[in-house]
């Protein structure tokens, strides 16, 4: 790269208030449960929010762990609003009662994302590690809608729930809910690597999303894959939040703050990719340091490895989601979970999710008298 480094702005800040959590989800990359040692104090979190505003952030996602377990959640959310940023809540829903929603309303929370990982209690509760969590999550989703909040269902897809997606789709459709689908990455102490979806299932997930968007209007079912679903398919459209993938935005337009102050391009990424701490050198200093966030800011196609090396999409794609790439291959520059690679390499795609669903429906119709 020649010339001066561009002036990057963290338009989206992700702030982990605490690692404390009231669930023990199998796919949790940070193995949430107990608070981290030496978590940021209230004043430090307020300073982080001030720094994000100074740097130009527009939206701030407050998450955990379970953010509603933090005693000062409401104050932090209101401070975001007062600083001209839109606070967004990501929660498992168990604590999203009338009082919590009133707090969100007072703070002018812009959106609420609620995790739902199954179409039945059997699937969801197994993944979430707590009986009754499905009922409470679905109640929270409907309650959030009733209170007028823009509400998104967030589903982390693994082999434990991929065949439950059609059931979830049927429950979500027509309720005015958004639906974000993301891939369970093989990290975290509770995740069984066998539960990672295969590359064929990854392609089926994209096909499922694409067909949903072909079948339903955005008003009926606004569904999309997250940053770790997709990349340059030669035959599919409408499967991602972005029409064209232009690479990971970590360190370019997003920044994550761990509950102990570590600064990361994205909170999904391992601590080994931390770019300092809000305590040292500070968020503003770290963000403006031209030597930090090099994976995306100082990328060269020659950095690509494995099956991504020499790819025609490499200069813009940059190997897709670095978290998924690293946890599968050990390199942030080699990502086999890519639609283009899967199609080019002729992976046996097998049955798609909706084909399986249609076969099951046909059998039910045949069994009817």
Per-residue CA distances from 153 to 67, 180, 254, 366 (Å) = 17, 6, 21, 34
- Look up the pTM and report it: 0.93
Whole-number Å distance between alpha carbons of 257 and 283: 9
Per-residue CA distances from 92 to 13, 68, 83, 95 (Å) = 20, 9, 26, 8
DSSP 81-136: HHTT-EEEEEE-STT--HHHHHHHHHTT--EEEEE---SSHHHHHHHHTSTTHHHH
Per-residue CA distances from 156 to 9, 14, 264, 268, 322 (Å) = 28, 18, 21, 13, 17
**Residue 364 pLDDT level (bands cut at 50, 70, 90):** low
Asked if the model's pLDDT at residue 197 lies above 60, the reply is yes
Q: What local confidence, expressed as pLDDT, does residue 363 receive?
A: 47
pLDDT in tens, 153-175: 999 999 999 999 999 999 999 99
Per-residue CA distances from 91 to 86, 165, 286 (Å) = 16, 20, 28
pLDDT in tens, 18-42: 999 999 999 999 999 999 999 999 9
**Residue 294 pLDDT level (bands cut at 50, 70, 90):** very high
Question: Across residues 108-135, what is the average pLDDT?
Answer: 97
Question: Across residues 57-64, what is the average pLDDT?
Answer: 98
Q: What local confidence, expressed as pLDDT, does residue 347 receive?
A: 87
Give me the long-range contacts of 341-349 (CB less than 8 A, separation at least 24). 341/231, 341/307, 341/308, 341/311, 342/199, 342/200, 342/202, 342/203, 343/203, 343/233, 343/234, 343/235, 344/234, 345/307, 347/199, 347/200, 347/203, 348/200, 349/200, 349/203, 349/204
Q: What local confidence, expressed as pLDDT, does residue 190 receive?
A: 94
Q: Which of 170-184, 229-243, 253-267 has the lowest mean pLDDT?
A: 229-243
Asked if the model's pLDDT at residue 293 lies above 60, the reply is yes
């Amino acid at each position: 790269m020649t010339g001066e480094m561009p002036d990057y702005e963290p338009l989206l800040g992700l702030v982990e208030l605490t690692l404390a959590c009231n669930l023990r989800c199998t796919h949790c990359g940070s193995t949430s449960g107990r608070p981290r040692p030496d978590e940021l104090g209230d004043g430090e979190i307020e300073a982080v929010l001030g720094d994000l505003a100074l740097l130009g952030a527009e939206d701030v996602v407050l998450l955990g762990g379970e953010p509603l377990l933090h005693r000062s959640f409401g104050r932090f959310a209101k401070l975001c609003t007062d600083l001209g940023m839109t606070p967004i809540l990501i929660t498992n829903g168990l604590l999203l009662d009338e009082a919590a929603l009133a707090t969100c309303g007072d703070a002018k929370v812009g959106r609420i994302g609620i995790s739902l990982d199954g179409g039945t209690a059997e699937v969801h509760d197994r993944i979430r590690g707590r009986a009754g969590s499905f009922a409470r999550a679905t109640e929270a989703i409907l309650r959030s809608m009733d209170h007028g909040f823009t509400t998104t269902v967030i589903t982390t897809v693994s082999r434990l729930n991929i065949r439950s997606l059609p059931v979830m789709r049927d429950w979500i459709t027509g309720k005015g809910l958004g639906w974000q689908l993301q891939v369970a990455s093989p990290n975290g102490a509770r995740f069984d690597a066998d539960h990672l979806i295969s590359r064929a299932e990854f392609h089926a997930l994209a096909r499922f999303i694409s067909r949903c968007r072909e079948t339903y209007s955005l008003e009926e079912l606004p569904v999309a894959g997250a940053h770790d679903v997709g990349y340059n398919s030669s035959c599919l459209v409408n499967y991602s939040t972005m029409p064209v993938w232009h690479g990971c935005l970590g360190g370019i337009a997003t920044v994550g703050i761990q509950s102990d102050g570590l600064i990361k391009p994205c909170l999904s990424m391992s601590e080994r990719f931390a770019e300092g701490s809000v305590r040292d050198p500070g968020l503003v200093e770290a963000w403006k340091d031209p030597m930090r966030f090099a994976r995306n800011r100082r990328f060269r196609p020659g950095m690509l490895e494995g099956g991504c090396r020499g790819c025609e999409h490499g200069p813009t794609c940059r190997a897709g989601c670095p978290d998924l790439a690293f946890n599968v291959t050990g390199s942030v520059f080699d990502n086999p979970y890519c639609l283009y690679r899967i199609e080019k390499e002729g992976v046996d795609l097998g049955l798609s999710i909706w084909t399986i669903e249609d076969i099951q429906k046909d059998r039910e119709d045949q069994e009817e008298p």
